Amino acid sequence: MSNREESIQSAIRDYHNGVFKSQKAAAAAYGVSRSTLRHRLAGRVQRVIAHRHEQRL
């Protein structure tokens, strides 16, 4: 997992655990885009995973 993805997952985990009261605070603390965090919380999957079926072998 990349450092960026680890930051996103940490922000999601801490937001769900109540460490941060807002998505904005969680995103700022981990240096993650607010829109990325918002989309992930809404269920959007990682781009690499979402387009895996389109990859050539």
The predicted-structure confidence for 6-47, as pLDDT tens digits, reads as follows: 999 999 999 999 999 999 999 999 999 999 999 999 999 887
The per-residue pLDDT for 57 is 75
pTM above the 0.85 mark?
no
Number of domains in the chain: 1
CA distance 53 to 29: 33
| C-alpha separations of 48 from 2, 24, 44 in Å | 12, 24, 12
Domain range spanning residue 11? 3-54
Taken as a whole, the chain contains a residue count of: 57
Q: Kindly tell me the burial class for residue 46, based on how many C-beta atoms sit within 10 Å of its own C-beta (0-12, 13-18, 19 or more).
A: middle
- Here the CATH number for the domain that contains residue 24 is 1.10.10
- Collapsing DSSP states into helix, strand and coil, what is residue 35? helix
Q: What is the mean pLDDT of the chain?
A: 93
Residue type, 13: R
